[in-house]
């Protein structure tokens, strides 16, 4: 089997974990990387043993050897790079959010419908074994209809007004931050589990630090506070937000996102209250599903291939007790993506489970609706 030749655009945090995950996927060869400068691309290529380095996305996309492209750039470049990859007819896996707004994502959706290539968005939490098992419980109706879902995504890396990264710059990140960057993950994960889209919502957002101290040098995401000369800058995007949601089948819910919650490092969690049981999962303890009951003892399902359904067990690569986590969810996404790439190139049917550009576009519509709801202080329909 000839390997799929892949290129990475972006040399930051996202680019690094895409490379590390790709190294665990059989039949894929990383042949090129591009960065914001040729020097950065060469340093990244040397670090990871990648043969070719380019100083611009355009050069990498034009490389005839590159068959698939991973877009790991900052948010403000997502639309331009994704559009160029789609127009080049190459397979595309984009980091989220897909674009900065739903007008841009609609254009990408229309391009993707005319493309013969595979395209997807990196919503990796739907690829955890326990998430898949929960999806199957809900779809089969094992515990009855889901009445209510609640949860959130909380972090603390922007707790202090001295914390800063490019994500606080609306020009680079977009008009939404906490909702777009981590709330989008919660929405995609829960919609995937329920098999239902969010259709109406009411949002309340807050900027905890309207002024922050920005280092005069560059700072990477999640790097923490640094000793450097700073200058005060205004911050317009939200540090926190809570959103009431209605799903298309009548299920109701609420979620909270925060990047200023001390002690919470990367906690995506949900609890689904169904007719006869509640199902709860926490990404920071990803190998367990809590199943709450009223008339009998609560129990905990552990990530053990022997205890999971066939579909969920396919996402668990080690025996029970050999813990798997965040990097393994990313690996599962890439296994699914490149399975679809090979099937497409062989002319075989493709039925992937990863998020499509259509899913990414709908998430952008949710984000736009959240911003509109907060600004106008009212319920908003996602398709309004």
Q: How confident is the model at residue 219 (pLDDT cuts 50, 70, 90)?
A: low
CATH class of 4-124+329-355: alpha beta
Task: Give, for 138, the enclosing helix (H) or strand (E).
Answer: helix 129-140
In 3D space, the residue among 267, 301, 343, 363 whose CA is nearest the CA of residue 129 turns out to be: 301
Query: Which residues of the chain does CATH 3.40.50.720 include?
Result: 4-124+329-355
Residue with tokens 């319920």: 379
Instruction: Using the predicted structure, report yes or no on whether residue 227 has a pLDDT greater than 70.
Output: no
- Mean pLDDT calculated for residue range 338-360: 94
For the record, the structure tokens of 209 come out as 């630090």
Cβ within 8 Å of residue 152, ≥6 positions away: 186, 255, 256, 257, 258, 267, 268, 269
**Residue 335 phi, psi dihedral angles, 5° rounding:** -60, -45
Q: How confident is the model at residue 1 (pLDDT cuts 50, 70, 90)?
A: confident
- Predicted confidence at residue 216, as pLDDT, reads 84
CB 376, CB 361: distance < 8 Å: no
- Mean pLDDT calculated for residue range 336-364: 95
Q: How far apart are CA 49 and CA 55, in angstroms?
A: 17
Of how many residues is the chain composed? 384
Q: How confident is the model at residue 224 (pLDDT cuts 50, 70, 90)?
A: low
In 3D space, the residue among 352, 294, 342, 289 whose CA is nearest the CA of residue 316 turns out to be: 289
Mean pLDDT of the chain: 96
Supply the CATH classification number for the domain 129-324.
3.30.360.10
Burial class (CB in 10 A: 0-12, 13-18, 19+), 113: exposed
Q: What is the pTM (predicted TM-score) of this model?
A: 0.95
- Mean pLDDT calculated for residue range 166-176: 94
Say whether 49 sits in a helix, a strand or coil: coil
Query: Which residues of the chain does CATH 3.30.360.10 include?
Result: 129-324
Say whether 183 sits in a helix, a strand or coil: helix
Task: Give the helix ranges, DSSP H, for 151-213.
Answer: 170-173, 178, 184-194
Residue pLDDT, tens place only, 301-319: 999 999 999 999 999 999 9
Q: How far apart are CA 243 and CA 238, in angstroms?
A: 13
């Amino acid at each position: 089997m000839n390997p799929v030749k892949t290129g990475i655009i972006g040399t930051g945090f996202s680019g690094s974990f895409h490379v590390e995950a790709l190294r665990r996927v059989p039949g894929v060869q990383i042949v090129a990387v591009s960065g914001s400068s040729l020097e950065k691309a060469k340093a990244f290529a040397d670090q990871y043993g990648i043969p070719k380095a380019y100083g611009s996305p355009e050069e990498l996309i034009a490389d005839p050897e590159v068959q698939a492209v991973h877009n790991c750039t900052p948010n403000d470049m997502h639309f331009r790079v994704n559009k160029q990859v789609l127009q080049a007819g190459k397979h595309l896996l984009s980091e989220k959010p897909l674009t900065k707004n739903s007008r841009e994502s609609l254009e990408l959706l229309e391009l993707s419908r005319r493309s013969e290539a595979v395209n997807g968005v990196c919503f990796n939490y739907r690829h955890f074994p326990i998430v898949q098992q929960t999806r199957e419980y809900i779809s089969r109706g094992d515990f009855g209809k889901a009445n209510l879902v609640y949860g959130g995504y909380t972090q603390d890396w922007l707790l202090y007004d001295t914390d800063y990264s490019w994500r606080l710059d609306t020009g680079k990140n977009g008009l939404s931050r906490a909702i777009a960057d981590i709330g989008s993950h919660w929405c995609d994960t829960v919609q995937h589990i329920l098999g239902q889209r969010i259709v109406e919502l009411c949002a309340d957002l807050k900027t905890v630090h309207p002024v922050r101290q920005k280092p005069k040098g560059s700072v990477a995401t999640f790097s923490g506070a640094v000793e450097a000369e700073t200058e005060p800058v205004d911050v317009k995007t939200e540090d926190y937000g809570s959103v009431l949601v209605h799903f298309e089948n009548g299920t109701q819910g609420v979620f909270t996102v925060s990047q200023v919650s001390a002690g919470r490092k990367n906690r995506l969690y949900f609890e689904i209250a169904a007719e006869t049981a509640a199902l709860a999962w926490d990404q920071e303890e990803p190998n367990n599903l809590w199943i709450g009951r009223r008339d009998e003892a609560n129990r905990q399902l552990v990530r053990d291939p022997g205890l999971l359904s066939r579909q969920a067990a396919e996402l668990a690569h080690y025996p029970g007790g050999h813990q798997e986590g965040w990097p393994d969810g990313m690996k599962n996404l890439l296994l699914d993506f490149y399975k679809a790439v090979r099937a497409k190139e062989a002319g075989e049917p493709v039925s992937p489970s990863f998020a499509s550009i259509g899913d990414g576009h709908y998430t952008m519509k949710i984000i736009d609706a959240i911003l509109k709801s907060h600004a106008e202080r009212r319920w908003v329909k996602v398709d309004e």
